[in-house]
Structure 1
Amino acid sequence: MANSKYEYVKREFEFHRHLPASNWIVVRIDGCHFHRFSELHAFEKPNDDRALRLMNACATSMLEKFPDIVIAYGVSDEYSFVFREKTEFYKRRESKNISLCVSYFTIVYGMKWKDFFPNNDLKEPPYFDGRVVCYPNINTIRDYLAWRQVDCHINNQYNTCFWALVKSGKTEKEAHQALKGTSSKDKNKLLLQQFQVNYNDEPAMFRKGSTVYRDKVKTDDCGNPIKRTREAITVSNFDLIGPEFWENHQYILGEG
């Protein structure tokens, strides 16, 4: 920028908050007014497989674009991106981390829309907001991801019951009232007894959300063994709360 008498406005009023070193950075992206957006585009209730796979495709593009993202977790219109502890992504500037992630994700969502909704034109532009949080160690990162997955289960189980009741003839108000104060066990019982639906048989993507990470691949595309392990970005629906996933993928967070 050329020096001028007006440059003081940058020097004296612009401030860049740098996120603390030796912390894991999580950028969480959420859809703005997606309740209206989903109705406008006739998303299936309680879950639209196309919309969820579109979100997963956007998350995959994020890992392709930004190598410092080691894992991402998404549910509904939300996605969390975990940057490695030692990242120097845009010098750890908070505003850059948020704005770049949100803008790139939003652009990809629009570009990939037709891949998943070929017969449904975008009627208004989708947009997302974002926040960034720092976590001090691996344990808190795992707890963060477990928290989001627990939230996924609670919300999806409720919504599965709610929309089953609505589709059976109840008003939305009546459905909310019927579910008021019910436990997880109560909801499972309701689905099984009234609708012959075993909640545990629902697709794992709906119940557990989606995890995107770089998997260690030891075979080529034809299934033949290869000498050198390569990485492939993978979308899965594993349980992140228990230890099994982390024991089998210690390299993701550098635990191995």
Structure 2
Amino acid sequence: MKYLARRFLHPFQTVIIPKMAKSKFEYVREFESEETLLPNCWIVVRIDGKAFHKFSAKHNFAKPNDLRAISLMNKAATCVMQDYKDIVMAYGQSDEYSFVLRKSCTLHNRRKSKIMTYISSLFTSSYVYHWHSYFKDQKLKYPPSFDGRIVLYPTDQNLKDYLSWRQADCHINNLYNTTFWNLVLTGGLTPAEAEKRLCGTLSSDKNEILFSEFGINYNNELEVYKKGTILLRKRLKRPNSDKHKIVILPLHIDLIKEEFWEENSELLQMETCHKYEWPEDIPLPDLVLSQLHINIENKVDIEAD
């Protein structure tokens, strides 16, 4: 019988293992199965927070929206996009994020479990890693978790309809939650009473409740609450410079209308990212400033120093 020597822990500690052991037990790999994703289809990985109603309550998230929580989700998603260049765009709202990978993607040989688990785990670890950057006075009481799923969309229209569905869901949920929590926190109703009050109401009814009872014009709510966040790769001009840099840009705009796809035609045509002219009268988001290596607190260009 042939023997194979292996060294462990210490350079002079040698363990003798029969060479036949490898082939004897290797048969168990036959029980493994691997699903390969169909070619020429858009790959969408959607991650979703597990029991985030409980998680948000334990960590004192503001109701109906906590901008810290939204910003943290956007940061985690940006980390994923920076690591995986095959992701052409992402869309997030509430405790979910959808990542769109190009049709021609060959990442991990299009193995479903690899793509899904890597993206889900990177998002989760990034969420935990950056927690204290957004919740400075709130200790993370227990680790959050996110599940992941993959759906294939064979046509451009299928993909557009999927993203439209998620943004429509964002609007519907936010209008309900905004009305619900105003009834509870300001109107003095119990959660059960607020739920009963809103049962069967239309969007117009909720808008009327907000305006007539609380003086809130829903149209004036922050766009990030109403439309969610779109993350795109864009070539952005650095402040006080003629140089451009590719960044992950957060936008809170309507993607349901065809105008979005016309202005960002590179997404479906799978071209390199286009230049984006950020309005000079609007400050760059902190998420972008950090990518440009600009100190967020005093807006100093670190690379220029």
TM-score calculated relative to the size of structure 2: 0.80
1:95 to 98, 113, 128: 113
Distance 1:160 1:149 in 2: 16
**Letter of the aligned partner of 1:239 in structure 2?**
D
RMSD: 1.3
Structure 2 residue runs without a partner (length 5+): 1-20, 272-305
Match of 2:101 in 1: 83
CA contact (8 A) 1:70 1:253 kept: no
Tell me whether 1:169 sits opposite 2:188 in the alignment: yes
Amino acid at match of 1:106: T
Aligned length: 250
One-letter code of the match for 1:247?
E
User: Which of 71, 74, 79 pairs up with 2:92?
Assistant: 74
Q: Is the 8 A contact 2:102 2:270 kept in 1?
A: no
Partner of 1:61: 79
Q: 2:37 aligns with which of 19, 23, 27?
A: 19
Compare relative contact order (CA 8 Å, sep 6+) and give the higher one, 1 or 2: 1
* C-alpha contact 1:24 1:134 (8 A) present in aligned 2: yes
Give the drift of 1:48: 0.4
The one-letter amino acid of 1:94's match is: K
Q: Distance in 1 between matches of 2:40 and 2:192?
A: 48
Within 5 Å, give how 1:23-34 maps onto structure 2.
23-34=41-52
Preserved contact between residue 72 and residue 130 of structure 2 (Cα < 8 Å): yes
Q: CA deviation at 1:231?
A: 2.4
SS at match of 2:266: coil
8 Å Cα contact 1:74/1:80 also seen in 2:
yes
Moved over 6 A (4+): none
Decide whether the 8 Å contact of 1:29 with 1:79 is kept in 2.
yes
CA contact (8 A) 2:229 2:251 kept: yes
* Equivalent in 171, 183, 206 of residue 202 of structure 2: 183
1:139 aligns with 2:154: no
How far apart, CA to CA, are the structure 2 residues paired with 1:37 and 1:202? 25
How far apart in 1 are the matches of 2:117 and 2:135?
27
Residue 231 of structure 1 corresponds to: 246
1:242 and 2:257 matched:
yes
> What residue in structure 1 maps to residue 11 of structure 2?
none
Q: Does 1:46 find its partner at 2:70?
A: no
AA aligned to 1:15 is S
In structure 2, the residue matched to 1:6 is 25
Are positions 1:203 and 2:222 aligned together? yes
Tell me, in whole angstroms, the C-alpha distance in 2 between the residues paired with 1:236 and 1:186: 29
Aligned to 1:43, what secondary structure does the other structure show? coil
Aligned equivalents of 2:134 and 2:74: distance in 1? Answer: 11
Aligned to 2:275: none
Retained in 2: the 8 A contact 1:23–1:134?
Answer: yes
In structure 2, relative to structure 1, the CA distance for the partners of 1:255 and 1:19 (3 Å cut) is: closer
Identical columns (%)? 47
Find the structure with the greater CA-based Rg: 2
Distance in 2 (alpha carbons) for counterparts of 1:122 and 1:165: 29
The runs of 5 or more residues in structure 1 that have no matched partner are: none
Partner SS for 1:73: strand
